[in-house]
Amino acid sequence: MNYKLPAIIQGGMGAGVSGWRLARAVSQTGQLGVVSGTALDVILARRLQLGDPDGHVLRALELFPISGVAERILDRYYVPGGKSKDEPFRVKPMSSLESSRMVDDLLVAGNFVEVFLAKEGHQGQVGINYLEKIQLPTLASLYGAMLAGVDWVLMGAGIPKSVPGILDQLAEGQPVELKMNVFGAEAEDQFVSRFEPQVFSQGQVSKLARPKFAAIVAAATLASMLLKRSNGRIDGFIVEGPTAGGHNAPPRGKTQLNEAGEPIYGERDLAKAEAFRKLGLPFWLAGSYGTPERVLEAVDAGAAGVQVGTAFAYCEESDLVDEIKNRVLQATATDQVRVFTDPVASPAGFPFKVVQLENTLSEKAIYDERLRVCDLGYLRHAYRKENGGLGWRCPAEPVDEYLRKGGREEDTCGRKCICNALLGNIGLEQVQKDGSHERFLVTSGDDACGLWRFLKPGSLRYSAADVVDYLLSPLTAREIAAKPALAFDGPLD
């Protein structure tokens, strides 16, 4: 069987911005739709507490292939008719190294549901995107996505050198482990997370298809190191530049800030397509590639195509709440969008692009009003405790707790709880103990300033298919079809 490489990859956008609706709509155009794999456990639990009004989640759970899992999740989280607006969501247990049945159930089923729904009713390919930095949920998440037949796994924000081999092992039903990055760990320490497919599935599932794997990188040196050191097959690279939405790789060398306080990127930070061509694998360019001219430019440089995020984030099928879409699209129509590359906001430690929007957490005064709390914990850092055990801390958690765990006060300054804010952006915000609702913090690439190009007079709506049609305008599509560089078609395992 052959597969055709997509010219357009709709980038994975967390948390939940590229949900199954968006990925499905893109896949149906013949391009690669990608769901975000971040926080799908809590997204599943919260959608069920809102009563799953359209019944899609319930339908997918009914088809979950391992008995008992869906029943346990529904027992604990399903609220027929939905919770009231001011009632808090039930707190989900955080992941830890010791696996817990409910944590694994939610991770496996959450990833299954998202991919299953994105793939339902058509033949297009669907990918899932993870951040390497978020390690604890990775193994169970990959398994859940593979149970639903995910076609591609894309991973950035780190060095995912052991993931290709993990995909091979999961496909064979073998137990897998992932070494944790632990601050202060000593040579003899063994901090690993484990997942055993046969135990989880009680022998009900044996072999699965091995998805293709693409690493998201900012530099060819990292790509080349991954090719040498990874423990399994890599099928391509996404090359992401510093104007892309979400997290960005820091500038090379010592970070310097401009007057506004943003990291300064230079020529050295722009990856060279030439270096990627030499690696011999398909690659896609990302970061402000959302126009037909830029698509052609990428293809001319030898890329298989482009990965685009921001343009898809504001289309009808994305799961950003309408209020955010409308406000940003209205502002883009009058040229008033400003995107700030915040060097410290994200606890992940990478620069993070933030759309400056009144009354959201982009404003310091609004953030300072927020009750500092860490109850989701995806971006916590692992550290070695004095007694040799494993501890977890987040620089956005209450400062005294962070200090008690040995963290440094300066690391807490300007940090924002992205986990809670991003869930708010997709309408799943928590109601905290003081009765406050978590607020928005919106990320987008610099391309947010040009979104007016998708708007028709009198309307703030456009679809994922509009974006694909625009990017592959007839001229572009014809030229792409004629490019020998795109003859990367290869056998599917």
Q: Please identify, among the stretches 135-143, 285-293, 357-365, 475-483, the one whose residues bind ligand FMN according to the rule CB under 6 A.
A: 285-293
Strand segments (E) across 37-75 = none
Tokens at residue 133, please?
A: 């930095």
| Helix (H), strand (E) at residue 365 | helix 364-369
Q: Which of 348, 353, 293 is nearest to 328 (CA)?
A: 353
Compute the distance between CA of residue 259 and CA of residue 257 in angstroms, rounded to an integer.
7
Compute the distance between CA of residue 331 and CA of residue 339 in angstroms, rounded to an integer.
12
Residue pair 446/339 in contact by the 8 Å Cβ criterion: yes
Q: State in angstroms the smallest separation of the CB of 492 from ligand FMN.
A: 23
Under rule CB under 6 A, which residues in 15-34 are in contact with ligand FMN? Answer: 17
Query: Is residue 129 a contact residue for ligand FMN (CB under 6 A)?
Result: yes
Q: State in angstroms the smallest separation of the CB of 282 from ligand FMN.
A: 16
Query: Is residue 127 a contact residue for ligand FMN (CB under 6 A)?
Result: no
Query: Which one, 69 or 107, has the nearer CB to ligand FMN?
Result: 107
* Residues in contact with 254: Cβ distance below 8 Å, sequence separation at least 6, in sequence order: none
20-27 and 101-119 helices, crossing angle to 10°: 30
Query: Is residue 49 a contact residue for ligand FMN (CB under 6 A)?
Result: no
Residue pair 326/296 in contact by the 8 Å Cβ criterion: no
Q: Please identify, among the stretches 136-144, 237-245, 327-335, 369-377, the one whose residues bind ligand FMN according to the rule CB under 6 A.
A: 237-245
Q: Please identify, among the stretches 133-141, 196-204, 293-301, 302-310, the one whose residues bind ligand FMN according to the rule CB under 6 A.
A: 302-310
Q: Please identify, among the stretches 106-114, 250-258, 292-300, 301-309, the one whose residues bind ligand FMN according to the rule CB under 6 A.
A: 301-309
Query: Which one, 119 or 294, has the nearer CB to ligand FMN?
Result: 294
Under rule CB under 6 A, which residues in 148-187 are in contact with ligand FMN? Answer: 156
Among 287, 302, 343, 347, binds ligand FMN (CB under 6 A): 287
Residue with tokens 């049945």, as numbered in its chain: 101
Among 135, 138, 230, 444, binds ligand FMN (CB under 6 A): 444
Q: State in angstroms the smallest separation of the CB of 91 from ligand FMN.
A: 23
Query: Is residue 310 a contact residue for ligand FMN (CB under 6 A)?
Result: yes
Determine whether 275 is exposed, middle or buried from the number of CB atoms within 10 Å of its CB (0-12, 13-18, 19+).
middle
Query: Is residue 216 a contact residue for ligand FMN (CB under 6 A)?
Result: yes
Q: State in angstroms the smallest separation of the CB of 401 from ligand FMN.
A: 26
Among 31, 38, 230, 420, binds ligand FMN (CB under 6 A): 38
Q: Please identify, among the stretches 83-91, 303-311, 326-334, 369-377, the one whose residues bind ligand FMN according to the rule CB under 6 A.
A: 303-311
Query: Is residue 111 a contact residue for ligand FMN (CB under 6 A)?
Result: no
Measured between its terminal Cα atoms, the distance across the chain in Å is 8
Among 29, 125, 141, 243, binds ligand FMN (CB under 6 A): 243
Query: Which one, 346 or 412, has the nearer CB to ligand FMN?
Result: 346
Strand segments (E) across 115-170 = 126-131, 152-156
Query: Which one, 73 or 296, has the nearer CB to ligand FMN?
Result: 296
Tokens at residue 236, please?
A: 């391509």
Query: Which one, 211 or 290, has the nearer CB to ligand FMN?
Result: 290
- Sequence-separated contacts (24+) of 275-281 with Cβ below 8 Å: 275/220, 276/220, 276/223, 276/237, 276/239, 276/302, 276/303, 277/301, 277/302, 278/220, 279/220, 279/223, 279/224, 279/227, 279/237, 281/227, 281/234, 281/235, 281/236, 281/237, 281/488
Peptide bond just before 70 cis, omega within 30 deg: no
Compute the distance between CA of residue 370 and CA of residue 158 in angstroms, rounded to an integer.
30
Among 13, 25, 35, 417, binds ligand FMN (CB under 6 A): 13
Q: State in angstroms the smallest separation of the CB of 454 from ligand FMN.
A: 13
Under rule CB under 6 A, which residues in 263-282 are in contact with ligand FMN? Answer: none
Determine the size of the site formed for ligand FMN (CB under 6 A). Answer: 30
Among 240, 397, 411, 429, binds ligand FMN (CB under 6 A): 240
Query: Is residue 288 a contact residue for ligand FMN (CB under 6 A)?
Result: yes
3-state SS, residue 134: coil
Catalog residues that contact ligand FMN under the rule CB under 6 A: 11-14, 17, 36, 38, 129, 131, 156, 216, 240, 243-246, 286-288, 290, 307-311, 313, 443-445, 447
